[in-house]
Structure 1
Amino acid sequence: MIQHAPLIIDVAGTRLSKADKRRLSHPLVGGVILFARNWDNREQLTKLCKQIKKVRADLLICVDHEGGRVQRFRTDGFTHLPPMRVLGELWFAGQPGQESEAALAACNTATAAGYVLGAELRACGVDFSFTPVLDLDHGGSSVIGDRAFARDARVTTLLAQALMHGLMQAGMRNCGKHFPGHGYVKADSHVDIPVDDRPLQAILADDAAPYGWLNASLSSVMPAHVIYPQVDSRPAGFSSRWLNDILRGQLGFTGAVFSDDLSMAGARQIDGREVSYTEAAITALQAGCDLVLLCNQCIENDGEPIDDLIDGLSQAQLEGRWWPNEVSEQRRQELLPQGYPLPWDELMIEARYMHALSLLP
């Protein structure tokens, strides 16, 4: 029987409840995403991650931990990482005649940031961070803003590649987001349904360009809950045109595709009507996503929407409306970290880590 665990869900608090354990043990659940509410201190986080792995060793423990305002763990020794815009500013900080040296130094700093980010998370048992942001800073998006490296797709590509090299040194995979680009639209897909009216060629030549240039480096991609009506009437994360024809076919990407959070407003409307989480998940999986996220349901709704999604996807499988994908499961497994992490106390005196800290702005 083909195995495929496409669901990434959240848990309620700083330790697993019986309900959390029950959900995480379900064969359709492939991982957990952590938030600031799951954090008290490093010791507690490490115990929580061990609890999760005790339920199933292959569960992928994820977090949004980019730096700047999107960093879930900030105390008890965790380094305050700069927003990615700071790395872009370093790129352009060179004096006349020294522009190349400044760009190379910025890439080195990006690698250091990636290593610190990945090594600190892994020392506490976290497997994976949804980073780097590949969106371009067009200047009008409040939800992206300083999360973006730069306006220039080439600068963004090289800084992201450097950051991913640092993650790789820590044994951590990466996730480029939000394909094909969220930086041009002003609306926030958490609470709205953004629309980008540009033609395909304009998007491919600019915002989506990093995905082609990084197709040998990206481990995974997260599409945007944005509609690009000149390409498809559906948001990118529910569009086979974007995910299969363009991302995989045209841009050559071969890794895993995550949906963005299905609870966001941009995921609740498909083809002009409101859909259930189960229908949204099935639509995303059929469109080319390998994994789907449903976040922030344990606190707000006592986890009932997660149970409904698990039951709904199980029923859809029995009815033949959704089929497990062995290739997708292989892609999920490949996101698990490589090698053994350094324990925190050993990391704090490791030469590479100390040098990386010295390079951060």
Structure 2
Amino acid sequence: MKATLRRQVGQLLIVGLEGPELTSIERAWLKLVRPGGVILFRRNIEEARQTVQLLREVTEIIGKSCFRCIDIEGGLVDRLRDLIAPMPSPAEVYATRKPAIFRKHGQLIAREARSLGFNTVFAPVLDLALPVSADVLCNRAVSADPAGVTAYALPFLQEFAAEGILGCGKHFPGLGGSSLDSHQSMPVIQRSWKEMWDEDIAPFRALAVRLPMIMVAHAAYPQASGAAVPASISRFWITKILRQKIGYKGLVISDDMEMGGILTQRIIEEAAVNAVAAGTDILGVCKEPGLVIRAYESLLSEAESSPSFRRSVQLAARRMAHYKKQYQLKNFPRRFSSKVLENLRTEAKKFSTKI
């Protein structure tokens, strides 16, 4: 049972790596933890063949059905901008008011990711573009109108699905009301329940059946929830609202558990256990090996000692296995094609010029 539980706990983690190549220490802890997936950042991406090789090595260690993740929204958040070509921001694309352009944005991002071996892209952003968050979200958010956010995201997600890429709506229940960056500290968003439900949460509600994953924010909403607890560890937001009231059936993932928005509130051990107990399926621990191991060991220890928490881990692991099978994650490309990449570069540049 212990070996099975260890595997189930590992599956709940998506982890980051330190550089462009696996170190011997990374290979060792990847074999120990056997995480459910990996996420690459610009520090891991130097050139195309190296990126493909890195993903291939990780896949061989942790399993073919792993989530191979990357952040590509366009604009400020675009991990492939230097490798392929800069992608226009969501706000620039939305400004065209043309669904065909929204669709093309999703298609190009999905094809770029897939060409290098990724199968999961953490996009689109569904936060509202409210004045208070303009300096934080910048061009990542597209509209203050929930209907406008949905209008952009729907064709974008449809193209992700057509290309075999899993998308992820973020950051539930919404960061549009925040003047703080949750990378550094925890925003306390003073919006009422009605404002949250009718406005911030509306795009998540409208797109729930289209979203394989929803990412939960490290922000508190005391007026709406009655508690100044980060949504990422809140049973109210994750289980009561997202799962039960909205009826979301996909995978719930935390924002990076190394961010100040959560680590200013809890140590990593408590944060990891609290998040899974609240209903989270996947924890992102995106850089420090020490924090990955601490999160993993704390989850395992709690699962071994608490029957109720063990059931939470088992439920999340089963949900992960179910959706990995349902989504039939694309097999890793047999070989890298520089021609495909060059064609994508040309197409992305034309798209940017058009925008």
Decide whether the 8 Å contact of 1:179 with 1:208 is kept in 2.
yes
Q: Which has the higher helix share?
A: 2
Residue 194 of structure 1 corresponds to which residue in structure 2? 187
| 1:249-270 deviation per Cα after TM superposition (whole angstroms, max 9, x unaligned) | 222211000011111121125x
2:222 aligned with 1:215? no
- Mapping for residues 302-321 of structure 1, pairs under 5 Å: 303-320=289-306
- Mapping for residues 33-48 of structure 1, pairs under 5 Å: 33-48=39-54
- Mapping for residues 1-361 of structure 1, pairs under 5 Å: 1=4, 4=8, 5-27=11-33, 29-56=35-62, 57-76=64-83, 78-91=84-97, 106-141=98-133, 142-230=135-223, 231-233=225-227, 234-269=229-264, 274-297=265-288, 303-320=289-306, 322-323=309-310, 324-325=313-314, 326-330=317-321, 333=324, 334=326, 337-338=329-330, 343-345=336-338, 347=340, 358-360=350-352, 361=355
Cα 1:80/1:356, change in 2 over 3 Å: closer
CA distance in 1 between counterparts of 2:342 and 2:290 reads 44
Segments of 5+ residues of structure 1 without an aligned counterpart are 92-105, 298-302
What's the secondary structure of 2:36's corresponding residue? Answer: strand
What's the secondary structure of 2:200's corresponding residue? Answer: coil
Residue 300 of structure 1 corresponds to which residue in structure 2? none
Decide whether the 8 Å contact of 1:133 with 1:148 is kept in 2.
yes
Root-mean-square deviation (CA, aligned residues, Å) is 2.3
Tell me how far 1:138 sits from its aligned partner: 0.4
The letter of the residue matching 2:100 is: N
Tell me how far 1:245 sits from its aligned partner: 1.4
Tell me how far 1:152 sits from its aligned partner: 1.1
Cα 1:35/1:336, change in 2 over 3 Å: farther
What's the secondary structure of 1:253's corresponding residue? Answer: coil
What TM-score results when the alignment is normalised by the length of structure 2? 0.87
Tell me how far 1:184 sits from its aligned partner: 1.3
Tell me how far 1:315 sits from its aligned partner: 1.9
The letter of the residue matching 2:232 is: G
**Number of aligned pairs?**
336
Decide whether the 8 Å contact of 2:85 with 2:348 is kept in 1.
no
CA distance in 1 between counterparts of 2:105 and 2:242 reads 27
Tell me how far 1:26 sits from its aligned partner: 3.0
Segments of 5+ residues of structure 2 without an aligned counterpart are none
- Residue identity over aligned pairs, in percent, reads 28
Cα 1:357/1:110, change in 2 over 3 Å: farther
Runs of 4+ in 1 over 6 A off after TM superposition: 352-357
CA distance in 1 between counterparts of 2:277 and 2:180 reads 26
Tell me how far 1:354 sits from its aligned partner: 7.5
Cα 1:261/1:48, change in 2 over 3 Å: same
CA distance in 2 between counterparts of 1:52 and 1:28 reads 10
Cα 1:355/1:83, change in 2 over 3 Å: closer
| 1:130-151 deviation per Cα after TM superposition (whole angstroms, max 9, x unaligned) | 1000001002222312101211
CA distance in 1 between counterparts of 2:74 and 2:181 reads 19
